Amino acid sequence: MSLLSLHALRAFYGPAQALFDVSLDLAEGEAMALMGRNGMGKTTTVKAICRMLPASGGLHFAGHDLTRLPSHRAARLGIGLVPEGRRCFAGLTVRENLIAAARPGPWDMGRVTALFPRLAERASQRAATLSGGEQQMLAIGRALMTNPRLLILDEATEGLAPLIRQEIWAAIARLKAESGMALLVIDKSPAELAQVCDRATILERGATVWSGSMADLTPDLSARWIGV
Ligand code: ATP
């Protein structure tokens, strides 16, 4: 059975419809890339899943109909979001940011700082003083502290230097290998997505146009739908 299932999902920004026909199925422990050119609806799909936008159509997580739930209930079911643009509490320390997000489960300060040792070094510093890459690690750490069954990463390496990007991809690969958590990953780099994701769903103008195994995503398909 799917952990997350979207079927012919529609979503709206006020009167403007942004999603028309998005479908995808993600199993427990599976990693999926959500791909497509700029403005095709990836972030909007994430917002619809996290109940930040009105949506209609099929939207189920762990057997619950998400269209009936407000966002705080969706989060409590086990959906962890690392939003585009990070968003930590700038005035709180790294430790306070992590503790504020904590919910019971295997992910605690110790496990998060084992994954990102820099966060242990910076534990008493205010989040505002962190580098962009460290803030991104903190954003991932905060989502992990909620002990989600599904972790959604929206452009987690955007705007970061190559070495930090590598560190973050390595952490995502470890999550995939060791945590049993399902992952939904948005990123501009198909090569890096291919290293951690089993399958991909491609969006074009608010609709799913392709889904399949990462290995079947040929250069022709990439050129057609993603522009690389
Ligand atoms: P990107 O890679 O640029 O983040 P994306 O695939 O995530 O692209 P979305 O941000 O989901 O794309 O945008 C999908 C569509 O929704 C676009 O046509 C965009 O103009 C529109 N849209 C996004 N945010 C809003 C908003 N706040 N109000 C109205 N329309 C919006």
What are φ and ψ of residue 102, in 5° steps? -65, 135
144: helix, coil or strand?
helix
DSSP bridge partners of 182:
150
| Phi and psi at residue 167, to the nearest 5° | -60, -40
What's this model's pTM, rounded to 2 decimal places?
Answer: 0.95
**CB proximity list for 29: less than 8 A, separation 6 or greater:** 180, 181, 182
Question: What pLDDT sits at residue 227?
Answer: 81
Residue 41 CA, ligand 1 centroid: distance in Å: 6
What pLDDT does 110 receive?
96
Q: Concatenated DSSP letters for 62-116? A: TTEEGGGS-HHHHHHHHEEEE-TT----TTSBHHHHHHHH--SSS--HHHHHHH-
- What residues make up the domain containing 226? 1-78+150-156+183-228
Given this model, what pLDDT does residue 228 score?
A: 64
Q: Which of 17, 44, 152, 204 to mutate to test the pocket of ligand 1 (most atoms within 8 A of CB)?
A: 44
CATH number, position 217: 3.40.50.300
Q: Which residues of 109-132 are buried (b: 16+ CB within 10 A; e: fewer)?
A: beebbebbebbeebeeebbeebee
Q: Is 23 in the pocket of ligand 1 (CB under 6 A)?
A: no
* Residue at 188 is within a domain: yes
Query: Could you tell me if residue 161 is inside a domain?
Result: no
User: Is 9 a domain residue?
Assistant: yes
Closest CA to 158 of 115, 197, 188, 118: 188
Is the ipTM above a cut-off of 0.90?
A: yes
Q: Residue 198 falls within a domain, yes or no?
A: yes
**Nearest-10 crossing angle of helices 162-178, 132-145:** 20
What is the distance, to the nearest Å, from the Cα of residue 66 to the centroid of all Cα atoms in its chain? 17
Q: Amino acid identity of 165?
A: R
Other beta carbons within 10 Å of 10: 18
Task: Determine whether the shortest distance from the Cβ of 40 to ligand 1 is under 6 A.
Answer: yes
Smallest CA separation from ligand 1 atom 19, residue: 39
| 3 inside domain | yes
Tens-digit pLDDT string for the chain (228 aa): 799 999 999 999 999 999 999 999 999 999 999 999 999 999 999 999 999 999 999 999 999 999 988 878 888 899 999 988 777 888 999 999 999 999 999 999 999 999 999 999 999 999 999 999 999 999 999 999 999 999 999 999 988 999 999 999 999 999 999 988 999 999 988 889 999 999 999 999 999 999 999 999 988 888 888 886
How many whole angstroms from 89 Cα to the centroid of ligand 1?
25
Supply the DSSP symbol for 18.
E
Radius of gyration of the chain (CA): 17
83 lies in some domain: no
Residue 29 included in any domain: yes
**Per-residue pLDDT, 155:** 93
**Does residue 73 lie within any of the structural domains?**
yes
List C-alpha distances in Å: 32 to 192, 193, 226: 12, 9, 16
Indicate if ligand 1 lies below 6 Å from the C-beta of 43: yes
The region that residue 62 occupies, defined by phi over 0 for left and psi between -120 and 50 for alpha, beta otherwise, is left
**Integer Cα distance of 140 and 101 in angstroms:** 11
Q: How many structural domains is the chain composed of?
A: 1
